[in-house]
Amino acid sequence: MIKFFSPFKFLKKFLPNSLFGRSLIILITPIILVQSITAYIFIDRHLDKVTQLLADDIAGKISGALNIVIPASGAEFPALQSYVLKHYALEISLPSSHRKAHEALQVSPYDDEILREALKRYFNYPFKVSLEDEHLIIEVTTPRGLFLFKDQLKHLYPKTTAILLWWIILTPFIFLFISIIFLKNQIKPLSRLSRVVDDFGRGQNVDSLKPTGSFEMRKVIHAFNIMKERIRRQITQRTEMLAGISHDLKTPLTRMELQLAMMKPSESTGQLREDIKEMSHMIEEFLAFAKGEEGEETQRHNFSELVLAVAMKYTFSRITLDMPPSPVYFSYRQNAMTRCLSNLIGNAMKYAKNLRITLTRRKNHIKIYFDDDGPGISEFYREEVFRPFFRLEESRNNETGGVGLGLAITRDIIHAHGGTICLEDSSLGGLRVSIRLPI
């Protein structure tokens, strides 16, 4: 299949990703385009035409003055000067009375070619064009001698032209400055909302935002505040309901345990006592999973230190730690994260001989890997094991004491911190648990 080149995909690589940058481009690009077309038309058409008309006017005045001065060989020169100044608005002088050195005519952004062509059309005498301060000096060699004509430079290049050109150039920058000020005020509420949503997604307690900005932005902030309060209310209701369930279930179980303790020991009472013990353990695990440590506040802690402390509770000789040289600090719930690490390390210690824990830090997140050399988990079951009360009969049997809530609780804690968790093949031959947490 032939793939055609798409200029939009090519340009997309160079376009900014932020809303602020893209909005600036949308605002300023049409202004720059319009100003560029205007400048081109003004310089290429209008300005050249106006300059040519002004050059023809100067050349025509000099030609008319020459037609008066050259035939009047017997007249006094001061009288000719007064006549030329009065009728042609030109100052005329002789080289002997005008000895100041002249500069070559260089008037930015235009050259003097238009004026030279106009002078050539109006008379055939040799001439030289130069510049003196804000005046044009045209030296004309005639049969009577050399005459110097002096005219104001603004008659050829008006100052308003330069002002207009500067205005064309500076206008986009003025609009860009104004756009930046207004866009920052419009983007600020959105950036603040983004930070608060991110913090709330990590399980942190955040205050309600004050609606600011545009009408649409105020509606979004108001909707977020309502949603946040609904979620908090649901969590509170769930916690209160589970506390009631805990009381209702534990009370009859405790009564049953007391009755069994008063009965004579037998094989049936022993089995019943084990069943009650297992039920109590399942209820405690279920309540811990459902509550999700919601009451704990997030605080900034040293995560490297926490990983080491949890690993030290197990057979440390079977654990290899690969940690960054500098401590890794970020905000998390310490009790919940301790439970999460304990579940993962405890599972690995049950079913594997060795465990390698690798902690790496990136710019805005950390990654932690748990690699063991145990039997592993089939790829088909790697998503199923995160379901509550799911147990693998082949590699994780019932005699281990688990009720199938360890990985469910672990994923619940990781998600509450805005992270992700997945199971992969380990380089040690067993299972790898890969966790990514934002910092």
pLDDT digits (tens, 9 = 90+) for 84-111: 888 888 888 877 655 444 444 444 344 5
Residue 106 confidence (pLDDT): 47
What's 298's DSSP letter?
P
- % residues pLDDT > 90 (the chain): 9
Parallel/antiparallel/unpaired status of strands 365-372 and 431-438: antiparallel
**Domain spans of the chain, in order of start:** 19-161, 215-291, 299-438
pTM of the model: 0.55
Weakest mean pLDDT among 56-60, 250-254, 362-366: 250-254
Residue 50 confidence (pLDDT): 80
Residue 110 confidence (pLDDT): 47
- % residues pLDDT > 70 (the chain): 82
What's 110's DSSP letter?
B
**DSSP letters spanning 67-82:** HHHTT--SS-HHHHHH
Residue 292 confidence (pLDDT): 53
CATH fold group of domain 19-161: Beta-Lactamase (3.30.450)
> Mean per-residue pLDDT for 136-165?
80
Residue 241: Cβ-neighbour burial (10 angstroms; 0-12, 13-18, 19+)? exposed
Query: How high does pLDDT run on average in the chain?
Result: 79
Q: Does the pLDDT at position 43 exceed 60?
A: yes
> Mean per-residue pLDDT for 291-312?
80
Q: Does the pLDDT at position 376 exceed 90?
A: no
How many C-beta atoms lie closer than 10 Å to residue 14's C-beta? 6
Q: Which residues, 6 or more positions from 167, have their beta carbon under 8 angstroms from its beta carbon?
A: none
Residue 131 confidence (pLDDT): 81
CATH fold group of domain 215-291: Helix Hairpins (1.10.287)
Residue 276 confidence (pLDDT): 77
Contact between 290 and 282 under an 8 Å Cβ cutoff? The reply is no
Name the nearest CA neighbour of 334 among 369, 356, 307. 307
Q: How confident is the model at residue 307 (pLDDT cuts 50, 70, 90)?
A: very high
From residue 94, give the alpha-carbon distance in Å to each of 40, 75, 150: 42, 14, 11
Position with higher pLDDT, 115 vs 280:
115
Position with higher pLDDT, 173 vs 393:
173
Q: Does the pLDDT at position 350 exceed 80?
A: yes
Domains 215-291 and 299-438 in one fold: no
Q: How confident is the model at residue 371 (pLDDT cuts 50, 70, 90)?
A: very high
Q: Does the pLDDT at position 152 exceed 80?
A: yes
Weakest mean pLDDT among 37-46, 168-177, 282-291: 282-291
Q: Does the pLDDT at position 383 exceed 70?
A: yes
Residue 32 confidence (pLDDT): 81
Name the nearest CA neighbour of 375 among 398, 356, 392, 358. 392
On whether the 299-438 domain is CATH 3.30.565.10, my answer is: yes
Helices (H) and strands (E) in the chain, counts: 11, 12
> Mean per-residue pLDDT for 38-66?
81
Q: Does the pLDDT at position 339 exceed 90?
A: no
Weakest mean pLDDT among 73-82, 155-164, 288-297, 303-312: 288-297
Residue 401 confidence (pLDDT): 47
Residue 7 confidence (pLDDT): 61
> Mean per-residue pLDDT for 132-140?
83
pLDDT tens by residue, 194-204: 888 877 777 67
Distance between CA 113 and CA 115 in Å, rounded?
Answer: 5
